Amino acid sequence: MGRAHEVRAASMAKTAAVKSKLYAKYGKELYMAAKGNPDPVNNLALRGVVARAKKDQVPADVIKRAIEKAAGGSQESYIYKRFEGFGHNNSMVIVDCLTDNGNRTAATIPTIFSKCGIKMGVPGCAAHSFKNEARFTFEGKTEDEVLEILLMADCDVDEVTVDEDGWVTVTAKPEAYNAVRTALTDADPEIKFDDDKITWTPNDYVDLEAEQMEKFQRFLDMLEDNEDVQDVYHNVNLPVEEEEE
């Protein structure tokens, strides 16, 4: 059928694999958020995960199945595990996992670190180079409007900024996530978040040489392929991918 067909088939397979990983990631997160209270109306944490899943184009039936599984009293359970490490030029990584088999994860993730030249460290060895924060990004409001909304709701935030394109960014302590999100959505039920999460933001970014970057990209690819990995945070300046014409 020719090279063009092979390229298209490979591209479709890669796209399907990426979607499958994304659906599985959200499936676990939705299930854990819905356990004990599967109603998004009364469960703000679940509502936030549902909103992020929809933004990432996770199908409604995938979301529904995960919530129904939790509502049905499934005994399936996941545990959180975190791995931290450091590599070339003071590069730092945090890998968060959600797994149904802690022993498997404790074996496979350190192996990925080792294969890619990333040294596994003790808890906190990388976290000190990041700021743990709740982050919301959206558009359509001025800085004064946002500040007034948050002030009226008695929300304690770290910073509110607006860039030259009109994108608003609100950062706050992780424990303020629910209060800030509620204040913003109550003030504007139609608000659409580009960012809506608790994350780890690097204090500074580092550059890697070409050979080091190749290994680091391999590290990220291997983590992406691992079913237990939920989120990866790092302080490396990744090359900007050029768009195809």
- CATH number, domain with residue 62: 1.10.10
**Domain assignment of residue 187, yes or no:** yes
What interhelical angle do 143-152 and 177-187 show, nearest 10? 110
User: Is residue 184 located within the same domain as residue 90?
Assistant: no
Closest CA to 60 of 27, 37, 18, 29: 27
93, 213: one domain:
yes
Q: Total domain count for the chain?
A: 3
90 and 115, same domain (yes or no): yes
> What is the domain extent for residue 119?
79-128+204-234
Question: Is 45 found in the same domain as 8?
Answer: yes
Tokens of 101: 């088999």
Rounded (to 5) percent helix, strand, coil in the chain: 45, 20, 30
Last residue of a domain, one of 71, 89, 116: 71
> Are 118 and 143 in a shared domain?
no
pLDDT at 11 over 50: no
Residues 140 and 117 in one domain: no
Asked if the structure places residue 244 within a domain, the reply is: no
In a domain, 245, yes or no: no
pLDDT in tens, 158-200: 999 999 999 999 999 999 998 999 999 999 999 999 989 999 9
User: How confident is the model over 30-88, as pLDDT tens digits?
Assistant: 999 998 899 988 888 898 899 889 988 999 999 999 999 888 877 788 999 999 999 99
Q: Assess whether pLDDT exceeds 50 at residue 244.
A: no
Q: Are residues 61 and 14 in the same domain?
A: yes
